[in-house]
Amino acid sequence: MNESTSRQNIKPRRKIVATITGMTVFAIGAIYSSYEISNTEVTIDYRLISPVLFLAAVSALLSAFRFQISGLLFKVEIPYQDAITVISYGTLANLLPIPGALIIRFEYLRKKAGAKRSSLIQVLGILVWFTVGFILLTTITSGPYKVFAITMSTAMSLSSVYVAWRAKMSKMYLLILYLIQISMTLLNIAKLWLIFSILSLSVNLSLPTALAITDIVASTSAIIPSGLGISETAAAAVTAFFEVHPSIGFVVASLNRASTWTTLLALLIFVKLYRGNEKRRTL
């Protein structure tokens, strides 16, 4: 066995080990958090489950629209059904400790616009996400942290404008991209707040906001991918910082993930059935 073959065999092993590690962390965290919560006076308000799923569905539809707009930055038209499929598979790929969503979006755009343009679109998307994240950070911080957040949000926004200008992208679509991202982030904050309410917990809005920022970092960073168990552990740490038991944060993040999976799977099944019917009609 030569050296190159050995390296190729090591990569799958690393992915398997990373996946098992993530699933183990998630399983242990879920069991422990459920046990801790069962010893508290937390009660479940089932009436709020429908609003959470509704917000998750709206967010998923906006995510597909955002992907369409990303393509239009380079005059690449993406059918809405394709956008839903790519977003759905990408989010499910984030089960693994790799930036699956980024990889799947990159590959789809590479086939339509080339590797360079696909990379620029991904970079621009990350800059937009981080700009919104740092703007949110200014609302829950003070002193030097607020100054840092303002500085970073300004730097990120100017960088996104510069990238769009250098690549001769449409400024109008860049603005729409920002508006969609802001809307999706606000929806996520509302969804997280409702999930706390499902557990009959009254929390300050700054905690769901902090968890939404954690989601942005996890979704856009290749260093901290939103793998199974990783996002939930990060949410537990953030919740503990706000002097709320970390098991609550773990459960909230898990329920947030579950609501996203449920709606995306439903949309994916709908698209598959719709396309199947379309093919039968053309026969």
Mean pLDDT score, 116-123:
87
Q: Model-level pTM greater than 0.85? A: no
Q: How far is the C-alpha of 2 from the C-alpha of 55, rounded, in Å?
A: 52
* pLDDT band for position 243 (cuts 50, 70, 90): confident
Q: How far is the C-alpha of 4 from the C-alpha of 115, rounded, in Å?
A: 25
Distances (CA, A) of 52 to 1, 41, 81, 105: 53, 22, 23, 26
pLDDT at position 8, please? 40
Mean pLDDT score, 139-161:
94
Q: How far is the C-alpha of 258 from the C-alpha of 60, rounded, in Å?
A: 13
> Could you give the residue ranges of the DSSP H alpha helices within the chain?
3-38, 49-72, 80-93, 100-113, 115-140, 143-166, 171-198, 206-220, 230-241, 246-282
Q: How far is the C-alpha of 259 from the C-alpha of 265, rounded, in Å?
A: 10
Query: In the chain, what is the straight-line distance between the N-terminal and C-terminal CA atoms, in Å?
Result: 51
Residue 71 reports pLDDT greater than 50:
yes
Mean pLDDT score, 79-104:
79
Q: Show the tokens assigned to 123.
A: 């970079």
Residue-wise pLDDT tens digits, 258-271: 898 889 888 888 88
Residue 55 reports pLDDT greater than 80:
yes
Mean pLDDT score, 20-34:
62
Residue 106 reports pLDDT greater than 70:
yes
Q: How far is the C-alpha of 2 from the C-alpha of 276, rounded, in Å?
A: 46
Mean pLDDT, the chain, rounded, equals 82
Residue-wise pLDDT tens digits, 225-237: 455 667 788 888 9
* pLDDT band for position 223 (cuts 50, 70, 90): very low
pLDDT at position 17, please? 56
Mean pLDDT score, 53-81:
91
pLDDT at position 279, please? 73
Cα angle, residue 182 at apex, residues 141 and 140 outer, rounded to 5°: 10
Which segment, 43-57, 98-112, 180-194, 265-279, is predicted with the most confidence on average?
180-194
pLDDT over 90, % of the chain: 36
> Is-contact 257 271, C-beta < 8 A?
no
Q: Show the tokens assigned to 113.
A: 């616009």
Residue, of 121 and 2, whose pLDDT is higher = 121
Mean pLDDT score, 57-76:
91
Which segment, 25-34, 135-144, 228-237, is predicted with the most confidence on average?
135-144
Residue 250 reports pLDDT greater than 90:
no
How many residues are given for the chain? 283
Closest by CA position to 69, among listed 220, 167, 175, 185: 175
Q: How far is the C-alpha of 275 from the C-alpha of 53, rounded, in Å?
A: 24
pLDDT at position 50, please? 93
Residue type, 45: D
* pLDDT band for position 128 (cuts 50, 70, 90): very high
Q: Show the tokens assigned to 148.
A: 């840092």
